Amino acid sequence: MARAFLVVMDSLGIGAAPDAGAYFNGDLPDTGANTLGHIAAACAAGQAEEGRSGPLRLPHLDALGLGAALRLASGARGEGLDADPEGLWGVAEEVSRGKDTPSGHWELAGLPVPFDWEYFPKTKPCFPDDVVAEVKRLAGVEGILGNEHASGTEIIARLGEAHQRTGWPICYTSIDSVFQIAAHEETFGLERLLKLCEGLAPMLHARRVGRVIARPFVGGPGDYRRTVNRHDYALAPPGPTLLDLVQGAGRQTYTIGKIRDIFAGRGVGHAVTGADADLMGHLAEHVAGAEEGSLTFANFVEFDSLYGHRRDVSGYARHLEWFDAALGPILKGLRPDDLMILTADHGNDPTWPGTDHTRERVPVVAKGPYSGQIGIRAFADVGASVAAHLGIGFDGPGQSFLTGNDVGL
């Protein structure tokens, strides 16, 4: 029985989406963003030399069609990405009104977001008084720090010492529909932070705030470091997703990375988390041993969290090259009737002003018993195609690009 592996390279956009003019970083629309294209151009120009050198080298992804997808999506040359595709390849566009993690993943799993998320204004303070009061009550403190839009690493560096001195949690948001709470694992306590976020989540989910995120860190002044113990308390999807459908058909579902959090645990059988290096090992294990008819859904977040938001071009390029090299043996381990689709959920162009996601098209490249160009498709077509490969069909949006037949999700 066929197996499927859906792998999200978090934030690997390949050129501005047609509606990018309605999405902004600061006052600048995302119309010129191109995460992969601009990284490749920077590498070729010798502008991404920290820890690596020369043109971007992604032989395995490029052989599947990554460079071809980049050219189709944006017309960008993609220096070093010029292989003739051997796999199934194309481009996907999002219809959900957002450029955030839940929107992208839900839609890839066949469920476009049917409502508008609640966002916090770019003011200081930015959170409503009743939300702040609830944080203080749940945490048992007299105040909070932050209460603003901020980069997570920057605000921890700036307010970490005050947090340790006062015991007040650091609360901040971004352009996404999120409420993030950073706290020191040792002086505040990891379990206390998780309990705080879990207790706050229902209040914010009722207002359609997508996620309450626990952001634990360690270290001291001048050397604060976020840990892998992040936990997202996400609003549950408002309808069935690919995970629900596969599980409902009596098949096993495995999630790798933050997928379990993104889907609020719905449809999730076995789940593993960790740093991207650990997750690659788990992906290899699943390719070797996942049961027949199963779905493995993986997210590799560090492209986004460590390099995109921090506008680190060299770091993003290094991580892409590491990912590609590690992926090679895994691709060789796939069985003849397995399907592995590699895609993304949004962009996060490290050359673009600001620190937020960018509204972009994303690549869809795959290895399996299919090949050729699929053109420019909808995000939901990815989930529909996985369902078709597994022999599961339901009514709803999404058309399989494997056979050309409608497969509802």
Contacts of 123 (CB under 8 A, 6+ apart): none
From CA 263, how far away is CA 266, in angstroms rounded? 6
| 10 annotated as a binding-site residue | yes
Q: Is 6 helix (H, G, I), strand (E, B) or coil?
A: strand
Nearest to 268 by CA among 246, 249, 283, 290: 246
Distances 67 to 59, 362, 402 between C-alpha atoms, Å: 10, 12, 20
From CA 230, how far away is CA 302, in angstroms rounded? 12
Contact 347, 358 (CB under 8 A): yes
Where is 341: in which H helix or E strand?
A: strand 339-343
Contact 88, 374 (CB under 8 A): yes
| 346 annotated as a binding-site residue | yes
From CA 10, how far away is CA 226, in angstroms rounded? 18
Residue type for position 170:
I
| 406 annotated as a binding-site residue | no
Residue type for position 311:
R
| 345 annotated as a binding-site residue | yes
| 60 annotated as a binding-site residue | no
| 309 annotated as a binding-site residue | yes
Q: Annotated binding site for Mn(2+), which residues?
A: 10, 304, 309, 345-346, 357
Q: Annotated binding site, which residues?
A: 10, 304, 309, 345-346, 357
